[in-house]
Amino acid sequence: MINLFNAHIESLSIHRVGNKSRNEELFLSENTVSVTDEITPLLKEFFFKPFREKEENYFQFAHEVDLEYNEMFNFASEVFSNPTEIHEVSKKITKHLYEQSNHPHIKSGEVYVCYLNHISINNEPVDAIGVFKSEIKTDFLQFEEKDTNLEMILQHGINLNKLDKGCLIFNTKKEEGYKILTVDNNRYDARYWLEHFLAVDAFQDENFFTKKYLKFCQDFAKDVVLPAEDKKQEVLFMNRAVNHFAKNNEFEETKFLNEVIDNPDLIPEFKNYKVDKGEKYSIEDITTFPIANSAVSDARKKIKNVINLDTNIQIKLDFINPESAEKFVEKGWDEEKQMYYYLVYFNKEQKS
């Protein structure tokens, strides 16, 4: 988990990049920016807020031939080798971004490149490079006293409540292409920032495999368990799957299948489903990996544990105590009414 609370902006460079296809100019500042104590907390909130609000899906620099041909990887390596050179490298980064600004929809804007320290990932200290871009300008009013009146002055600037684009490049896992977080809130050209500028792939760590495997299980439950059995068993399967991940530090597929799948007939179905669909989730050859607890928590929030009935009744099953649904909820068929039913056993109603 990333901790940006104590992050410190060691150096900040600001440039402006236009749209190359419209012959808009590139402006490179000669020197770094001196940031006052008043502006620093505003900038930190502007830069970091999007990364606190979204899931930590890490990326890494990549290239189809070799990593050394990825320009942003080389720029990052140059900075981490000698942080005092970041301003000169920030000019190269901005020029590289300008070269990718060929789509007619790409907006001009300010580019901020900063060197950051006092960051931690999973309680390990790490430095980082921040590259951010502001694009959308907002009208706002300033007021000025003149004689006995207040006069309105219309000004044009950026809204510090929303960052348009940004990435954090952490000085860790260099051999794999560094660990990177990125946001893009103005996706008029989805390939511009992620593919053309950064050229990144998903970082395949324990967080990646935990999320992918649980998503694979969720789709298996929907596509195989539900048609073969019923909604209750679909929910209970995912319940057991998530709880298995939650109580283990290492994933081992054979152990998972033996503990999670109640119906032995579904084990070969699971293996066949993995052969057919595993590549889609990047788990086709994966049978063991460390489990990321934060990814399990995120997955638990997204998995539905509710049975919706066509009689406008919902039955919510407890993910923390799955044995309750096994023991105290039964499904049956009423011949007289020609309808299915759920029978729920209990001792007394709980106060809400």
pLDDT digits (tens, 9 = 90+) for 316-352: 876 566 667 777 888 888 888 898 888 888 888 877 6
197 pLDDT above the threshold of 60: yes
Q: Give the residue-averaged pLDDT of 24-30.
A: 94
Tally of CA atoms within 13 A in the half-sphere of 299 that contains its CB:
28
170 pLDDT above the threshold of 60: yes
Rounded percentage of the chain residues whose pLDDT exceeds 70: 98
- Within the chain, strands assigned E span 2-3, 8-17, 26-27, 59-61, 109-121, 124-134, 137-146, 149-158, 165-170, 179-184, 200-202, 250-252, 288-290, 306-308, 314-316, 329-334, 339-344
Tally of CA atoms within 13 A in the half-sphere of 325 that contains its CB:
21
What is the pLDDT, as a whole number, of residue 229?
Answer: 83
- 81 exposed, middle or buried (CB, 10 Å; 0-12, 13-18, 19+)? exposed
Instruction: Average the pLDDT over each of 45-49, 54-58, 248-252 and give the range with the smallest value.
Output: 54-58
Collapsing DSSP states into helix, strand and coil, what is residue 342?
strand
Any bridge partners for residue 134, and if so which? 110
What is the pLDDT, as a whole number, of residue 352?
Answer: 65
123 pLDDT above the threshold of 90: no
Query: What is the tens place of the pLDDT at every residue in 254-268?
Result: 999 999 998 888 999
User: What single-letter DSSP state applies at residue 334?
Assistant: E
Identify whether the C-beta of residue 118 lies closer than 8 Å to the C-beta of residue 6. Answer: yes
User: Most confidently modeled of 44-48, 49-53, 341-345?
Assistant: 44-48
Identify whether the C-beta of residue 93 lies closer than 8 Å to the C-beta of residue 75. Answer: yes
Phi first, then psi: give them for residue 194, nearest 5 degrees: -75, -45
What is the pLDDT, as a whole number, of residue 319?
Answer: 57
Q: Give the residue-averaged pLDDT of 165-193.
A: 91
User: What single-letter DSSP state applies at residue 337?
Assistant: T
Phi first, then psi: give them for residue 110, nearest 5 degrees: -90, 140
- Interatomic CA distance for residues 199 and 203, integer angstroms: 12
Please tell me which residue, 336 or 93, carries the higher pLDDT value. 93
Q: Give the residue-averaged pLDDT of 212-220.
A: 94
47 pLDDT above the threshold of 90: yes
Instruction: Average the pLDDT over each of 111-120, 172-181, 316-325 and give the range with the smallest value.
Output: 316-325
Helical packing angle, 231-247 and 293-302, nearest 10°: 160
The tokens describing 262, both together, are 């109640």
Query: What is the tens place of the pLDDT at every residue in 276-303?
Result: 998 999 999 999 999 998 888 888 877 7
273 pLDDT above the threshold of 70: yes
The average confidence (pLDDT) of the chain is: 90
User: Which strand (E) or helix (H) includes residue 246?
Assistant: helix 231-247
Any bridge partners for residue 132, and if so which? 112, 166
Tally of CA atoms within 13 A in the half-sphere of 89 that contains its CB:
24
DSSP H helical segments within 8-152, as ranges?
40-53, 71-81, 86-99
- Interatomic CA distance for residues 1 and 292, integer angstroms: 10
- Interatomic CA distance for residues 292 and 250, integer angstroms: 9
Confidence of residue 113 (pLDDT cuts 50, 70, 90): very high
Identify whether the C-beta of residue 128 lies closer than 8 Å to the C-beta of residue 116. Answer: yes
What is the pLDDT, as a whole number, of residue 321?
Answer: 64
What is the pLDDT, as a whole number, of residue 331?
Answer: 83
- Within 218-350, strands assigned E span 250-252, 288-290, 306-308, 314-316, 329-334, 339-344
Does the model's pTM come out above 0.95?
no
- Interatomic CA distance for residues 161 and 184, integer angstroms: 14
Identify whether the C-beta of residue 40 lies closer than 8 Å to the C-beta of residue 6. Answer: no
Confidence of residue 9 (pLDDT cuts 50, 70, 90): very high
